[in-house]
Chain A
Amino acid sequence: GAGVSQSPSNKVTEKGKDVELRCDPISGHTALYWYRQSLGQGLEFLIYFQGNSAPDKSGLPSDRFSAERTGGSVSTLTIQRTQQEDSAVYLCASSSASVAAQETQYFGPGTRLLVL
């Protein structure tokens, strides 16, 4: 079946511009996560959505970052007024439940963002 998809696969933008990154989770998965990997760093949690509950935004690095999930499916991560330190690979993952420790998170291929 179809896995998690993300678009665009690569994005180059100028400092100060806004960008939107899209994630299509696996159909039927109620939990959706955003992570990012900056150069030389591990994967860093950003935000997660579970069903209709309020999202856990505890990992968002600044108020320039926001995310929404429409209809419990597609999610968009928006970065306003991008800075060079926002350059990273942004990964989306989904799972069929968020509070089951054994539940595998399935990752998309990521969006590589470069802010010039």
Chain B
Amino acid sequence: ILNVEQSPQSLHVQEGDSTNFTCSFPSSNFYALHWYRWETAKSPEALFVMTLNGDEKKKGRISATLNTKEGYSYLYIKGSQPEDSATYLCALYPYNQGGKLIFGQGTELSVKP
């Protein structure tokens, strides 16, 4: 059974703080890693798809890095804003599993003004 782990489970920060969280996955079964943001009462929104070791992606104040050899990805948010409050999900796209994604449990971020 493939396991994708995210930490921390939840995070409370003040507006303006920078923060980061971790997604760990089995490096032996890596094909791609997806990051999504899921705000309450909305659809999960795609942030990044990463495939290459050493990949770095950026979207505004949010960026992500990937280490496929050791099996982890970091998501960074610079200068958190209240509108960043959401659950951040990572999902592994493994080999030989068709198109399904294996999701972690998510990191719930709360940014206080």
Residues of A that sit less than 8 Å from B by CB: 3-4, 31, 33, 35, 41-45, 48, 50, 56, 59, 91, 95, 97-99, 101-110
Contacts and interface: CB of A to CB of B under 8 A. Distances in A.
A31 to B, nearest CB: 6
Given A35-B103, A43-B103, A101 B98 contact: no
Contacts of B100: 33, 45, 48, 56, 59
A41 B105 contact: yes
A56 B99 CA distance: 9
| Central interface residue in A98, A105, A109, A110, by most chain B CB within 10 Å | A105
A67 to B, nearest CB: 14
A41 B106 CA distance: 9
B51 interface: yes
25 contacts: A31-B99, A33-B99, A33-B101, A35-B103, A42-B4, A42-B89, A42-B104, A43-B91, A43-B103, A45-B100, A45-B102, A48-B99, A91-B44, A97-B99, A98-B99, A99-B99, A101-B32, A101-B93, A102-B51, A104-B46, A104-B49, A107-B43, A107-B45, A108-B43, A109-B41
Query: Which one of B32, B34, B91, B98 has the greatest number of beta carbons of chain A within 10 Å?
Result: B98
Interface centre among A43, A99, A109 (most CB of B within 10 A): A43
Contacts of B46: 104-106
Interface residues of B, number: 25
A102 to B, nearest CB: 5
Interface in B54-106: 89, 91, 93, 98-106
A48 B44 CA distance: 18
B35 to A, nearest CB: 11
Interface of B: 4, 31-32, 34, 36, 41-46, 49, 51, 89, 91, 93, 98-106
Contacts of A59: 100
A98 B89 contact: no
